[in-house]
Amino acid sequence: MSRSVSSKGTLPDEMRRTKIGWSWIMLIIGLILLAFLLVFVLQNLDSVRIHFLTVDFTMPLGVALLLAAIGGALIASIPFAARILQLRRATRKERNWR
């Protein structure tokens, strides 16, 4: 039984890493991080008082920190999203120019 060898290395074609293979690895890492996040939130259920602008309310500390982290990540992703849109526009103009 002979196997074809990939031109990129010595592994057979069916054993090379693919994008789907990486997605499984990232899924497993994501699930592990999600489990750690759940443990963090469940261990920090003490209520804290939150003051935001004119609103005053209480919520569990773990949930408040989780919401703050999500908000920070969303704000930090704005420049990246703008850059992706800029590159897409440039690519579209390049295609239409040809």
Q: How confident is the model at residue 22 (pLDDT cuts 50, 70, 90)?
A: confident
Q: Residue 14 pLDDT > 80, yes or no? A: no
pTM: 0.58
Please list, in sequence order, all residues whose beta carbon lies within 8 angstroms of the beta carbon of residue 64, skipping any fewer than 6 positions away: 48, 50
pLDDT computed for residue 56 by the predictor: 92
Q: Is 56 helix (H, G, I), strand (E, B) or coil?
A: strand
Q: Where are the domains of the chain?
A: 1-43, 46-98
**Residues near 5 by beta carbon (within 8 Å), at least 6 away in sequence:** 11, 12, 13
Q: Where are the beta strands (DSSP E) in the chain?
A: 47-52, 55-60
| pLDDT band at 16; cut points 50, 70, 90 | low
On whether the CB atoms of residues 41 and 62 are closer than 8 A, the answer is: yes
Mean pLDDT lowest among 8-12, 18-22, 25-29, 87-91: 8-12
List all residues 6 or more positions away from 47 whose beta carbon is below 8 Å from its beta carbon.
58, 59, 60, 61
Q: Which residues fall within 8 angstroms of residue 4, CB to CB, at 6 or more apart?
A: 12, 13
